[in-house]
Amino acid sequence: MLVFIIRRLTQSAIVVAVMSVLVFAGIFAIGDPIDVLISPEADEAERAAAIARLGLDRPMHEQFLAFAQEAAKGDLGRSFVHGVPALDIVLQRFPATLELALAAMLIAVLLGIPLGVWAGLRPDGIAGRTIMTGSILGFSLPTFWVGMLLIMIFAVTLGWLPAGGRGATREILGVPFSFLTADGLAHLVLPAINLALFKISLVIRLARAGTREVALQDYVKFARAKGLSARRVVGVHILKNIMIPVVTVLGLELGSVIAFSVVTETVFAWPGMGKLLIDSILQLDRPVVVAYLMVTVLLFVVINLVVDLLYSLLDPRIRLGGSRS
């Protein structure tokens, strides 16, 4: 177990290193941040001074080495745009995104699994077909369009919910969360549904496919023959056995929802990390982009680790050994 975790962490350290080189070179190739940042009225002297202040006058490999040295000490540099530590900016945005992502995943699980199992048990029934057709819509409708539609219906026309932004927050352990206040919750509903839509469809499909497969297995037939209640057959024998693919996919999806929910965050002006990434790329704010992606890599590593640990809980046959990577 310990070996397994250590190996994982070593691998992720390599990924982080490679990625930081790629991002560094990539943004360097796009252009010079000073062209975006500086006032057009600035003269040559001020331009040169600003370039020196931001350390952009040195060749790229020197800039990278300086960055790597500081990064080893835990300092990812200062944002070119905001002038404050890049990691602080990223972490400041993290709670908002985490909250949105977890809310979306919760909706996806709570709606997706029951609907999927239902559709799997009665694949030819009207309900089953309707659920499957609905899931196609969830897959194919573009997120931004659904987002605008939700805003137009529930915010502009009906006036039930706010059109965007994050509501009032309350702190837990110094971290501000908005789902604890009524206002915050109202602001959370639409973006969470918008973000969840695709995931619900995904979970429905996974759960349905799993259910159809598992429902024909001998042990299910045997359980039925033994006279177990339908609730116990579905709730224990089927549900537990379809969870492995669902947990795997949800784990990966959670990572991508946290890291790249750019569209939803943009439509709903949600002050999360996805919005930050886009803004930072547009402004060539390299320290923030690098810090952001480093946090993201770490996040994926942690999520994958948790998923692997969950496997062993769901399926006692799986053992996490040093030989497995």
Partner 1 sequence: MYTKHFRTTLGGLLAAFAAAASPAAGAELRIGTSAEPSALDPHYHNLAPNTAVRMHVFEALVGQDAKQRLKPELAESWRAVDDTTWEFKLRKGVKFSDGTPFDAQDFVYTVCRIPQVQNSPSSFTIYTKGIDAIETPDPHTLIIKTAAPYPLLPVELSTFGIMSAEAAKGENVKFEKAGCKADSWPATAQFNDLSLAIGTGPYKFKQFTKGERIVLETNPVYWGRKPQFDAVTFRPITSDGPRVAALLAGDVDMIENPPIQDIERLKNDPKVAVSQALSNRVIYVALGVQEKPPTIEGTDGKNPLRDKRVREALSLAIDRDAIVKRIMLGVAEPASQLLPAGFFGHDPALKLTSDQKKAKELLAAAGYPNGFKLTLGTPNDRYINDEKVAQAVAQMFTRIGVQTQVDASTANVFFSRRNKEEYSAFLAGWGAATGEMSSPLKSLVAGRDKDKGFGTTNYTSYANPAVDQPLAQALATVDDKKREALLQQSVRAVIEDYGILPLHYEVTSWATRKGLTYEARADQYTLAFDVTSK
* Most distant CA atoms of the chain, gap in Å: 87
Q: How many residues at the interface with partner 1, by CB under 8 A? A: 60
Residue linked to tokens 């002006």: 269
Beta carbon of residue 85, minimum distance to partner 1 (angstroms, whole number): 9
Contact status, residue 300 vs residue 255, Cβ threshold 8 Å: yes
SS3 178: coil
A 10 A CB-CB count for 105 gives 22
Angle at 123 between CA 122 and CA 125, to 5 degrees: 65
SS3 label, residue 268: coil
If we measure between CA atoms, which residue out of 79, 105, 73 comes closest to residue 92? Answer: 79
Of 44-52, 57-65, 225-233, 288-296, the window that binds partner 1 (rule: CB under 8 A) is: 44-52
Binders of partner 1 among residues 156 to 215 (CB under 8 A) are: 156-157, 159, 162-166
Interface with partner 1, residue 266, by CB under 8 A: yes
CB 91 within 8 A of CB 295: yes
148 lines the binding site for partner 1 (CB under 8 A): yes
Instruction: Kindly tell me which of 33 and 120 has the beta carbon lying closer to partner 1.
Output: 33
Q: Tell which one of 1, 10, 11, 53 touches partner 1 (CB under 8 A).
A: 53
Shortest CB 268 distance to partner 1, Å:
7
Residue indicated by tokens 């352990």? 173
Half-sphere exposure of 248 (CA within 13 A, CB side): 9
Between 42 and 244, CB nearer to partner 1: 42
Residues 70-129 that bind partner 1 (CB under 8 A): 78, 80-84, 89, 92-93, 96
Q: Which stretch binds partner 1 (CB under 8 A): 10-18, 47-55, 66-74, 249-257?
A: 47-55
Residues near partner 1 (CB under 8 A) = 30-47, 49-50, 53-54, 78, 80-84, 89, 92-93, 96, 142, 144-145, 148-149, 151-152, 155-157, 159, 162-166, 263, 266-269, 271, 275-276, 279, 282-284
